[in-house]
Amino acid sequence: MTQITLPDNLYLLLTPGPLSTTATVKAAMLRDWCTWDRDYNDIVQKIRSSLVRLASPLPGYTAVLMQGSGTFCVEACIGTAVPGNGKLLVLANGAYGRRIATIAGRMGLAFGMIDTKDLVPPGPGQVDQALKNDPAITHVAMVHCETTTGMLNPVEKIGPVVHSHGKCFIVDAMSSFGGVPIDMAAIKADFLVSSANKCIQGVPGFGYVIAKTSEIEKTKGRSLSLSLDLFDQWETMEKGQGKWRFTSPTHVVRAFKTALDELEAEGGVTARWQRYKENQKILAEGMTGLGFKPLLPEAFQSPVITAFHSPQARGYDFKGFYERLKSQGFVIYPGKVTEIDTFRIGNIGHVFAGDMQRLVKAVKNAMTW
């Protein structure tokens, strides 16, 4: 039998996910698991319990895992939470907020959108007025960390407004949960969506929805999709004690359990948040020192990903810049803002202060313009 060894990482993934993971997370995927066995289902149950504990110290919440990317889980949540006679208000200030509106439209759901454009966060006053003007709205959805720009949106201000009108609040915390402190009870979130390959530092393959138990119990029969029926998936996991309806990504699930253990060993979300913030600070200061300009003011900046204006110097092109950084061991992200030319650098994953310092030196070496 051929001996299997884990390859050395060729580069650090400085992206908002997939991201660089530990050797132990990778190694967890080397064992095969049967989806019907109790030992595997026990792992699923432990994951669900851990996610609920991370989401809020208060009781009354539950978690359901769903195969696929983060967008699969957002679509499952929207399609299950919003009834056919309901109406969704989407708060958008980037590509991922607008994607929620696209999902609602494809599903034939009634929806409205407040789009504040990429550089301005949605405000509680706007939401309050919209809910006063349109009593047909039943649900409000927004992105916590909008990775189009790296902006951290004020869910803690929006949620209480939504709650005061008696509406259901859905938070896409894809790129923030596990790396930025979030208390679902405090922000009045009824549903929160995230993915395995983000701040908890697992690998791609599934996402999850954490919900108020009383809210998900209302959703039976709402989904028009079989595969993306969040209620059916949740009910099966509840009754089967960790069982999935269809084939689950067993290796990815086991890796995620290891990642959760490593999050706890690091000191929990607060400790990881501090590391990510330090990464972002070193990056922003170092890049500014090289003449790059961050896209966002510091007050709006998340510790997840940082967008920079592309240099206007003759001879700069992103592809060449990207390849020169990659050859030095760093992979960054192209820009996503439509009206401004930018590129983005992630600050999350198994990445530390020393890595960001090395990156700044690599950027300097890659500046051939």
pTM, 2 dp = 0.96
292: domain CATH number is 3.90.1150.10
pLDDT of residue 1: 47
- Of the three residues 230, 245, 264, the one that is the final residue of a domain is 264
Q: Report pLDDT digits (tens) over 248-293.
A: 999 999 999 999 999 999 999 999 999 999 999 999 999 999 999 9
pLDDT of residue 339: 84
Residues of the chain below pLDDT 50: 1-2, 4, 6
pLDDT of residue 17: 84
Alpha-carbon span 145 to 147, nearest angstrom: 6
Q: At a CB cut-off of 8 Å and minimum separation 6, what does 42 contact?
A: 242
Residue 132 shares a structural domain with residue 170: yes
pLDDT of residue 71: 97
Let me know if residue 16 belongs to a domain.
Answer: no
Q: State how many domains the chain has.
A: 2
Yes or no: say if 205 and 249 are a contact pair by the CB < 8 Å rule.
yes
pLDDT of residue 36: 86
Interior angle at CA 16, CA 160 and CA 168, nearest 5: 20
pLDDT of residue 300: 97
- Of the three residues 239, 264, 289, the one that is the final residue of a domain is 264
Is the Cα dihedral 24, 30, 31, 33 positive or negative?
Answer: positive
pLDDT of residue 7: 57
Q: DSSP string covering 315-336, please?
A: T--HHHHHHHHHHTTEE-EE--
Residue matched to tokens 């949540």: 77
Residue matched to tokens 């803690």: 156
Strands 305-309 and 342-346: antiparallel
102: domain CATH number is 3.40.640.10
pLDDT of residue 10: 83
**What is the span of the domain harbouring residue 223?**
31-264
Q: Report pLDDT digits (tens) over 41-70.
A: 999 999 999 999 999 999 999 999 999 999
Yes or no: say if 219 and 229 are a contact pair by the CB < 8 Å rule.
no
Residue 210 shares a structural domain with residue 289: no
Alpha-carbon span 245 to 232, nearest angstrom: 8
